[in-house]
Structure 1
């Protein structure tokens, strides 16, 4: 009997101590029991239930520009008029478009606007892509990523892309096979040949070679006129004399 009383007293004491450590409501002891670890459930989706395009979708990385990003001051601003003039003088990349003429025009416009000494080259690199359109824009974007760090590299990459050796050889062959068109005057024929020479930049033809190509490409009646004008055989004149007559 004594042992039972002692056990009851001990149980009462434990109950009181427990009630002081936990919150109570209406004299009921609330014991916070930690939640048991629950293994996360895996949801398995049937691939046949997904949209067909989802399995084949691949998001490719966006390629970088061929031009390496130029470091400029935070306050650096390109003149809006400058950019507008460049955009109004675009190169489309087709055969009739003169590549060297485009470079000359681009530089002439750039020379009209002054920036800091260290910023002029950065301006050319930043705005040159805006001078391209259509086929030229597409082909320029095919250049290797971050392969251009200077204006000279830009100029060479542009010329090589749109004036490859095959095109150069074709234009040079057209010059060597030059002939006067029907109903074309002497002056018109000469101007057309000069335009062909200008498009075939770096052709390496001397004045004498050009005069011979021109003379042999003329009709016999026009050759006779040149001979009378030269008061002798036209090709016997010096290069400078022949150029002045033609």
Structure 2
């Protein structure tokens, strides 16, 4: 219908010849719902923003799970939709992969994570967390939000809550340490882990 808004219209998605992604047993005329397309393109990954690839995968899957396509398997939908969630250098990376490189969603996710979250990046983020320190004039709330963001970006760090608390506490300046010591009713690190988690809002 001519009066139908663009976001409501269906759009046919077809992989281009020579694509790195191979999709088996799927009709070429897969039509994506217009509002689904809007959500996907509104959450694109370009490798220049601070978006973590793991976060992008999580958000992408969340959007995909909002929609169901009859006669089309979830895996096929993900494989056809994921290229639309990339832009800039990330899209260029996918386009340059050899034809037929990827046949499953797990292969696509692994390739994406390996490219945009390599071991060297993980090591650098982990070092930054271990060297964490409060900035000048940074409030307790802001410093806590910052280390939470650092931990979230370093996906798979596997650090215990106890170690995180120690890194956080030792990274604070003396004045802030005194504030949380007073709130804990003594030395913050001497309190039980449950008390420490409650004071630091981890629990």
1:173-207 C-alpha deviation (Å, 9 max, x unpaired): 00000000111101110010000000000001100
- Which portions of structure 1, spanning 4 or more consecutive aligned residues, are displaced by more than 4 angstroms? none
CA deviation after TM superposition for structure 1 residue 79, in Å: 1.8
Equivalent-residue separation in structure 2 for 1:153 and 1:63 (angstroms): 19
Contact 2:22 2:100 in 1 (8 A): yes
By relative contact order (CA 8 Å, sep 6+), the higher-ranking structure is 2
Alignment gaps of 5+ in structure 2: 1-15
Picking from 36, 47, 68, the partner of 1:93 is 47
Alignment gaps of 5+ in structure 1: 1-61
TM-score normalised according to structure 1 size:
0.70
TM-score normalised according to structure 2 size:
0.84
Picking from 174, 179, 200, the partner of 1:220 is 174
Contact 2:40 2:63 in 1 (8 A): yes
Change (3 A) 1:241 1:122: same
CA deviation after TM superposition for structure 1 residue 214, in Å: 0.3
Equivalent-residue separation in structure 1 for 2:24 and 2:113 (angstroms): 22
Equivalent-residue separation in structure 2 for 1:218 and 1:74 (angstroms): 57
CA RMSD in angstroms comes to 1.9
1:19-60 C-alpha deviation (Å, 9 max, x unpaired): xxxxxxxxxxxxxxxxxxxxxxxxxxxxxxxxxxxxxxxxxx
Equivalent-residue separation in structure 1 for 2:68 and 2:82 (angstroms): 16
1:50-73 C-alpha deviation (Å, 9 max, x unpaired): xxxxxxxxxxxx982221133224
Equivalent-residue separation in structure 1 for 2:71 and 2:196 (angstroms): 46
CA deviation after TM superposition for structure 1 residue 82, in Å: 1.2
3-state SS of paired residue (1:77): strand
1:216-240 C-alpha deviation (Å, 9 max, x unpaired): 0000111111111111111112222
CA deviation after TM superposition for structure 1 residue 113, in Å: 0.6
